Each structure stands twice: as structure tokens, then as C-alpha cells.
Structure 1
Amino acid sequence: MKGRLILENGMIFDGECFGYLKDSIGEVVFNTGMTGYQEILTDPSYYGQIVVMTYPLIGNYGINYEDTQSKNVKVRGFVVRETCHSPSNWRNEISFDAYLKEEKIIGIKGLDTRHLTKVISKEGALRGIITTDNLTYNDATRLLQTNPTLNAVKSVTTRNIEKIEGNGKHMAIIDLGIKSNIIKSFKDRDFRITIMPAFSTFSEIMAIEPDCVFLSNGPGDPKELASVIDTAKRIIGKIPITGICLGHQIIALACGADTEKMKYGHRGSNHPVKNLKSQRVTITSQNHGYVVIQNTLPDDVEITHVNMNDFTIEGIKNESKKLMSVQFHPEASPGPGESHYIFDEFMTLM
């Protein structure tokens, strides 16, 4: 069915809609990964967003239900140049198009994703709507006034406490929109895990007597999570605390630093990050639209990692307070696994 992507700047991209044919509004961002569309679809950090894949062919290895990063698809829409109608992979269980139908997510194909990516790179992330109706920009203007990422963490966090047995240290995971492979990375290291809702209080967290607190990845602006930041402030210095992505930003804010929205963010599985201690560069998986501002970090917080493309902060540490966090995703999924050592470094804090 014919459809169009209408951006808040007035640009209209015509294409063909597929998946679940219902209009959807989201923040339009792009991802530079060549593979990993299944993990991207189900990553809670993409809640409220319409994702543009820069790689031209999507769906060629189908979908399996083992590699999903959460219980369902979190994106609002998916934009691709071309879809594959005959997936070929021994693990394939369902086609890309059928999966989007099943998850009630609309996609659009056949438009110039290279041009669209350049527009986002120049103007920054834009709100947009994928529609099967012949809407004009004026028709869409009112619809695009809504904020698709409002209350994002509240929408993706767990509602109940979950416990996972292990023989090692006790890790309290604060679920801001956690990916399943982060949980698996801790399980592989035999942690005893308690997964808690995002807005758990300091008293509730301390009552389970954890050896360490981990703040997960998740969607949206970290400054909107004032209560989570306050809880992190109270934890710092009492027990070890670590975090990834949004969790990293919250820890930085709790230390007194500031964050800001990036023009178009880092999203992909090919971002070079330098470990300033080892001087080693690894290729990392990333998905964030906000960043810690370097000159706002207090003197007692050390920068441990930097992005080699734009030199933004990718990791911080305070040894005396047993605090460490990274902006990138060491668990990958999708992406290379050469940063898995970060989970081992988390363990050294305890």
C-alpha cells in the first residue's frame, strides 16, 4: 500500500507501507548497523522512535524469537530502502514483514534512505509520521505536536520485582528499559540478580541488601528522571554503582555533571571507542541521543573512555566511591563483543 513519511520540517517522503498498516508518530532517527534489525526493533531504548536503517536491504535473514531484546517491539515505525521477501537463515522463524504485522508496527520502504539520513544529520532528529493516508504537511502538523517519548521509561520498565538465582555477588538491576543481553551478561558471570522497577526508592533498594546497583539502558531524556537521579545520589558512596547508556547519564547527573541532547545521536554497531587507560580502541554498539557534557564533570570523576568520532564521553569512574559507567553497549546485541570486558571491570568494584 502506498504511504508517506512526513517530517516536522515539512519534507515528505513517498514510499510503500508494509507490516501493520496503522499510522504512527515518532522521533525519526537513523541506525548505521548492517545487521541487527531484530535487536533494534525490540530494544526499549528506541521507545517512541521511528528508526531509519541506512543499510539498504533489511529482512534477508528473517526473524527468530530467541534474539529479541525485550518482550515486544518498542519502535514506533521502521524505515528501509528495500525488504527481503525470501529470508535465508537456519534460525529464521518468521519473515520481517510478518513479524511487524504480528507486533502491530508499521514500516515504509522504497524511499531514499540515504537522503533521509543526510536530512537528519543536518537538521537533527525530527518528529515524523508514517501514514497510509494522503495527508499533507498541514494535515500532519497538529499530530506532530505530541511528544512521542514522553514518560518513556515509565512505559518500558518492569512492573514487578524479578529474581534470578546465582552463586556470586548480589546485583540490584534498576530497569530503565533493560535489554535482555545485559541480563544475560550478568547471569554468565553467576551474579545473583534482583531486577527492580525504575522508580524503586532508596529504601526499597537497600532493603534487599545488594552488593552493587546497576542502572540500565533506556529511552528518553535523563533529566526527566529526577527521582531516579536523587536515588542514585543517595546510593553513591554507600555501595558500588554502575550503569550503561541512560544509566551512565543518570550516574553522571547524580555526581553533579550535566547532559545535553545530541544533534542526531549515536546509533549503530560500528562506533570506535578508546579506553584511555589501555589506549585500546574497540568497535562498539551504541544507541543514545543524549551525552554527558565534559566540562561539567566534578574533579573527582575520571573520564575512562572517549568516542573517536566526536570525542564525546563514553565512560566515567570514581574509584574511591566505587562508581563506574559507560555510554556504549558492551553487551552488543547487535554488534561486536569485544567490549564484554566491561562487565568484568564492573565486578572489580565489589
Structure 2
Amino acid sequence: MTGRDTTDAAVLVLEDGRSFRGRAYGAVGETFGEAVFSTGMTGYQETLTDPSYDRQIVVATAPQIGNTGWNDEDDESSRIWAAGYVVRDPARVPSNWRARRSLDEELVGQGVVGIRDVDTRALTRHLRERGAMRAGVFSGTALVPEARLLARVREQPHMKGANLCAEVATKETYVVPAIGAKRFTVAAVDLGIKGMTPRRMAERGIEVHVLPATATAEDVYAVRPDGVFLSNGPGDPAAADGPVAVTRAVLERGTPLFGICFGQQILGRALGFGTYKLKYGHRGINQPVQDRTTGKVEVTAHNHGFAVDAPLDGIARTPFGRVEVTHVCLNDGVVEGLRLLDRPAFSVQYHPEAAAGPHDAAYLFDRFTSLMDTVLMEGRRAQAH
């Protein structure tokens, strides 16, 4: 992969045979992944550096991208995880006082192959009708007859069945200290965690120990946690058996647990629910979700292609007690939140650390903090008696 001349031709090839021609954007070469679309009008830097986008070619539905350039503060991880980027009209010059370089320059610097001048509206409509699918972006010397490109796309692995969380997670445990007085210790299982998530917990007096996706229950309890957090992440939850086993161990011990996005899917599996692949998924920062416990509608940030298959109405019986669906997506009825009624655990299918709303979902970290506080107080009262 190399830099390019702005006249370089490029093509996006979908596995169903449709193609979209444009010009190279970012690095020149080839890339493969699952083509998905994100509906956020801003926040492309956070999107591209979100580990949940591993092995995905992201289509930006907003027509103009890159206006604010790229800064050194808003990355959600150490690198761009998206496999490729598809835009319609990239900004010619970034215009923001925090920008250090253009989006194009960052894509080139990190070797991320993209394509510009694509009819992203037509592409998005196609993905909505046909579903997310395997794709490839080709430019430079990678441009060969489309029949050969299509054959290469169809050789790529499907997202269904892909176990990716260990691929993007930290390899070594690290600690994010509490801001101000320390109130709690949380073991966060990194399934593709974003940098803002432990920061939101640290702001609430939580010392966060971020553990690899391969962590065992023994690793989790070695940090003597007051609570356990399951992060977002990429891939198919049906393939992530290790985190499911850890979650069951946490539920058995009754430690407060909070999961988000992929973490909700892991909790759902631990409870005995199935998971399934959505046709085109939820990706963006404008998804309406209703909190059934309050009736409030939140504007939320999503990035998931799988969901939990749990009953929307009534109380479900599981090996760990009763469970109810607390949140639901108002666009399509997808389960967006779970709560155990007999153990201290809950989850949501979205990203409460993100700025959609911009703060509609921040209360969930407070709910987690309150849950740990309640369990600790109950433990002290039991010891006193």
C-alpha cells in the first residue's frame, strides 16, 4: 500500500457482483472486509479508531467527510481498525484549530485503503436492501479485470463465525486510575474497548483494570473487583466462548456486572439466549432507543451487526434467575438492554461513553456505580449480623 496521485482510479466490488467506481482515497492498494454503512454526520475519527470496526469497510452516509481533519486527542484506540473507508465528497482542506493533518493523510500514514467520489446514497440503499456483505476496494496496480476482483472478494471469510475480540484487545493488563478519590475497583474485559469507556468510569472514582479478551475468571478476581465490565468489540458473539464462560462465573458469584454492545451479546449467551446476525446492523450516532424502565427515549451511538434473541415482553427464566428486556430500538424492535432481577447485572446494546445526544446514556455508568455501592452496603450489613 502506498500514497497516490489524486487521479488514481479505484473500484469497490461487492460480493453480489455490484461495483462502484471512484478515485483512490487514502492509501493505494487493496483491502477486504464486510461492507457496512455508518449514519453519523460527524465523529469519523472515533468511528475509524473503534476496534468494533475490525475487518469492516465503512461507508460514510454523510456526503462530505474530513472537514475537521485529524487530531491527536480523539482516537478511541492506538490505530485505525476499519479495513477501508468509502466517502462521497472528501473535504479539500481541513478547517479546525485542533487538526494536525487531513483525514486523507492519516489514512495514507496508516496504510488504510479507501475510495472517494462514490454514490454513497445508492450504495447505502443497496446494502439496506441486500444486507451487509463481503467487499473489496482496489486501486493502483490492484486494479485488474472485475471478474478477477469479484472472485477474490468471494474468497474472503464471512463475518458470521468470526472470533475477532482477542485480535483487537490488549495483550497485557493495564490500569486506568480513578480520578479523585477511589471508590471502586472494576475489572474490564477488553473485547475491543474504546479509550473513552474506562475514562467515563474513572470520572466516577473507579479504578479500572483492563484485562485481555482471553482473561479467565481467575484473572478477573485476581484484581479483587467490586464490579466487572464487558466491553464492545467486533465479530460474532457465537464464536466467543471464553468470555461467555467468564461471564457465567461472574454471575455465579453475584459480582455486579455491566456489559455494552458486544458485552451485551456475551451476557445474553451466558444467560442462555441465542444471538443472530442483523441484515445490515446498527451503526451511527443517531439511533433512537427507549428505556422501558423510565419511558425515556435516548439518542444513542451504535456499532453492532449482531443482536440478542431474547423475548421483548414479559420475564424470561434463565439459569441465573429472571431477566427482562429494559431497552428496545424504536427503528426495528431489536433488544437494546437486559437486566437480571435476581442478580446484580445489566447491559445495553449501544455505547454510553459516546457523545450521541450528547449525554443521553451517561446515566448508565451512574447506574453501574450505584449497583456496586448497593452490593457493598448489603455485604457490610450481612457481615455485621
Q: TM-score, normalised by structure 1?
A: 0.97
Q: Give the C-alpha shift of residue 184 in structure 1.
A: 1.1
Tell me the equivalent position of 1:146: 156
Q: Give the C-alpha shift of residue 334 in structure 1.
A: 6.2
Amino-acid identity (%): 39
Q: 1:243 aligns with which of 237, 243, 259?
A: 259
Tell me the equivalent position of 2:358: 336
Supply the AA of the counterpart residue of 1:180: G
**Distance verdict in 2 for CA 1:303–1:51, change over 3 Å:** same
**Distance in 1 of aligned mates of 2:147 and 2:53:** 25
Is 2:240 the partner of 1:192?
Answer: no
**Distance verdict in 2 for CA 1:36–1:53, change over 3 Å:** same
Supply the AA of the counterpart residue of 2:298: T
Supply the AA of the counterpart residue of 1:59: G
The answer (yes or no) to whether the contact 1:25–1:144 under 8 Å persists in 2 is no
Ranges of 4+ aligned residues in structure 1 off by more than 6 Å: none
Alignment of structure 1 residues 258-337 onto 2, 5 Å: 258-295=274-311, 298-299=316-317, 300-333=322-355, 336-337=358-359
Alignment of structure 1 residues 59-98 onto 2, 5 Å: 59-98=66-105
The answer (yes or no) to whether the contact 1:255–1:298 under 8 Å persists in 2 is no
Q: 2:219 aligns with which of 170, 187, 204?
A: 204
The answer (yes or no) to whether the contact 2:17–2:150 under 8 Å persists in 1 is no
**Distance verdict in 2 for CA 1:148–1:58, change over 3 Å:** farther
Is 2:177 the partner of 1:165?
Answer: yes
Is 2:52 the partner of 1:45?
Answer: yes
Supply the AA of the counterpart residue of 1:336: P
Supply the AA of the counterpart residue of 2:263: G
Is 2:113 the partner of 1:101?
Answer: no
Is 2:363 the partner of 1:347?
Answer: no
User: CA-atom RMSD, angstroms?
Assistant: 1.4
The answer (yes or no) to whether the contact 1:202–1:235 under 8 Å persists in 2 is yes
**Distance verdict in 2 for CA 1:143–1:273, change over 3 Å:** closer
Q: Give the C-alpha shift of residue 333 in structure 1.
A: 4.7
Q: 1:114 aligns with which of 114, 121, 127?
A: 121
Q: Give the C-alpha shift of residue 340 in structure 1.
A: 0.5
Q: Give the C-alpha shift of residue 145 in structure 1.
A: 1.8
**Distance in 2 of aligned mates of 1:222 and 1:311:** 20
Q: Give the C-alpha shift of residue 242 in structure 1.
A: 1.0
The answer (yes or no) to whether the contact 1:216–1:243 under 8 Å persists in 2 is yes
The answer (yes or no) to whether the contact 2:243–2:266 under 8 Å persists in 1 is yes
Q: Which has the higher contact order (CA 8 A, sep 6+)?
A: 1
**Distance verdict in 2 for CA 1:255–1:151, change over 3 Å:** closer
Is 2:264 the partner of 1:252?
Answer: no
Moved more, 44-53 or 293-302: 293-302
Q: Deviations over 1:111-161 (max 9, x none)?
A: 110110011001110100000113313443134322275442121010001
Gaps of 5+ in 2: 1-7, 373-385
**Distance in 1 of aligned mates of 2:153 and 2:274:** 31
Is 2:236 the partner of 1:221?
Answer: yes
Q: 1:9 aligns with which of 7, 16, 36?
A: 16
Q: Deviations over 1:229-277 (max 9, x none)?
A: 1111111141111110000110011011111000000001111111111
**Distance in 2 of aligned mates of 1:349 and 1:237:** 17
Gaps of 5+ in 1: none
Tell me the equivalent position of 1:179: 194
The answer (yes or no) to whether the contact 1:39–1:333 under 8 Å persists in 2 is no
Supply the AA of the counterpart residue of 2:151: T
Q: TM-score, normalised by structure 2?
A: 0.88
**Distance verdict in 2 for CA 1:335–1:77, change over 3 Å:** farther
**1:99 is paired with a residue of what secondary structure?**
helix
**Distance in 2 of aligned mates of 1:29 and 1:8:** 13
**Distance in 1 of aligned mates of 2:311 and 2:105:** 48
Q: Deviations over 1:70-124 (max 9, x none)?
A: 0000000000001001111111111010010111101101111011001100111
**Distance in 2 of aligned mates of 1:77 and 1:178:** 20
The answer (yes or no) to whether the contact 1:3–1:134 under 8 Å persists in 2 is no
Q: Give the C-alpha shift of residue 200 in structure 1.
A: 0.6
**Distance in 1 of aligned mates of 2:167 and 2:351:** 21
Supply the AA of the counterpart residue of 2:223: I
**Distance verdict in 2 for CA 1:39–1:135, change over 3 Å:** farther
**Distance in 2 of aligned mates of 1:68 and 1:334:** 16
**Distance verdict in 2 for CA 1:104–1:2, change over 3 Å:** same
**Distance in 1 of aligned mates of 2:268 and 2:158:** 25
Q: Give the C-alpha shift of residue 165 in structure 1.
A: 2.5
